[in-house]
Amino acid sequence: MEHDLIIIGGGPGGYTAALRAAQLGAKVILVEQHALGGTCLHWGCIPTKAFYKNAEIINTLKKAQEFGVDLLGFSLDMQKVQARKQEIVERLHSGLNQLMKIHGIQVLKGKARLLNPTTVEITPSSPDDIPEKITARYILLATGSRTADLPIPGTDLPGVLTSKEVLDLTTVPGRMVIIGGGVIGMELAAVFQSFGSEVTVLELLPRILPMMDEELVRRFNPLLKKKGLKIETGVRVKEIRQSADGLLIFAQGKNEAALEFNADIVLLATGRVPQTEGLGLAEAGVRYNRQGIEVDEDFATSVPGIYAIGDVIGGQMLAHVASHQGRIVAEKLFASRETKTGTNQTTQNPSVKKSTPVVPSCVFTFPEIAAVGLTEEEAKSQNIPYQVSKAMFGANGKALTLGEGEGLIKVLANKETGEILGVHILGPHASDLIHEAALSLHQGLKATDIQDMIHAHPTLAETFHEAILNFKF
């Protein structure tokens, strides 16, 4: 066949798979309907973190007097905020395009549809271009996810935005109501509250961030309240209407109480669903359901030669999970090729793994939250004997010099073996600190393995060490 691999979807999973396959000698075509980099680069991870940095600077300026710095005042220029965000996105997008060229990967812009296990039809973005059919030995589906649709009247009104549109705002809304208290909702709540919006988060479940350790979320709530961010849980939104001064949200609270909220902007942040529409899955015989495309432990679909990774298969919808899965599939398919040294020996890359059991997750709020491994609730439900150790950032010298002494590190270890089961961080630079914990779980380390490891002083990482030292085995 003309090509070795066709990848549909140019997000983190798709482009990582393309690069790895090309490095291993495969001839690759990457098809992307919108822009290389996908949601993560253009409307998700990167733009939100650019906003997050702006918010972080504002929060620092607000407490400048604590550091002996007197300010006459400051203001936020959203036009410049947008320009900075876009410059970052364009730089990374340009870099990705260059990497594709360097590795000989052909990138086609258009909508792809499966015709059979080896053939894809591509409808170009330009209406003047003619659809073309291309074939390959293998096809990889990496189309990601889209914002979940809400069956709420009024979601089509002006001022009701998804997480994609809200990142294009050029003014800071006075009042913002966010429907959904998951990661997307809480990150954008933190950003816009710092920017100056009056933010209210409405969550259907009994608590925000339901995937995180319950104790950490319980400790997080008063920190949000202190910042002026309003959280309403157990709330079902019934309707959104236009009002004389913006938008009016009708909801039902606990004990069926009628609630009303006023807003200038309503943000829909109730999660994402796999992007399976228009792929021709049923026609090609690829099994899928509402949770995504069905795959086995090697990410193979029900049709031989067709694979799927990332958000489109459901599970943990994280960019770094998609990237990891993309690398696994590329190495599974092409790592045993002849080496470039001219010998006929074939070698299987020992790093190829069939699953990704250790996945760190991060929530970029103020303070940050990060976790890896089991929560305490999961350990209980699985009847795993465990013990807990905690260390507070309020006792850490580096945290206090940063003016960020709030939060803690909580570690779960198997009571019988001492193996680290889970680590949960609420505090400064949690998204960076979590990786020592992730490595510990990845390598199956015990608390005693880490207790003898010297941690530099003064550092935030000492708090993790303190929590580990508190274990007695």
Tell me the catalytic residues.
Answer: 457
Strand order in the sheet with 175-179: 160-162, 265-268, 175-179, 198-203, 230-233
In total, the chain counts a number of residues equal to 473
3-class DSSP state for residue 14? Answer: helix
446 exposed, middle or buried (CB, 10 Å; 0-12, 13-18, 19+)?
A: middle
| Cα angle: 234, vertex 239, 245; to 5 degrees | 110
For every residue of 354-370, DSSP letters joined together read S------EEE-SSSEEE
63, amino acid identity: K
For every residue of 29-46, DSSP letters joined together read EEEESS-TTHHHHHHSHH
Q: Do β-strands 236-243 and 272-274 pair in parallel, antiparallel, or remain unpaired?
A: unpaired
State in Å, rounded, how far the first CA of the chain is from the last one: 59
- Token pair recorded at residue 327: 């690398």
Rounded CA gap, 248 and 239, in Å?
8
- Token pair recorded at residue 300: 């193979």
Give the ranges where 153-257 is alpha helix by DSSP (H).
163-166, 183-195, 214-227
3-class DSSP state for residue 385? Answer: coil
Torsion of CA 294, 295, 296, 299, to 10 degrees: -170
**Which residues does residue 30 pair with via DSSP β-bridges, in sequence order?**
7, 107
Nearest to 356 by CA among 383, 409, 317, 305: 317
* Residue 228 Cα to chain centre, angstroms: 25
DSSP 312: G
For every residue of 421-465, DSSP letters joined together read EEEEEEETTHHHHHHHHHHHHHTT-BHHHHHTS---SS-THHHHH
Give the number of C-alpha atoms closer than 13 A to the C-alpha of residue 55, restricted to the C-beta side. 24
* Rounded (10°) angle between helices 183-195 and 45-62: 40
160 close to 27: Cβ distance less than 8 angstroms:
no
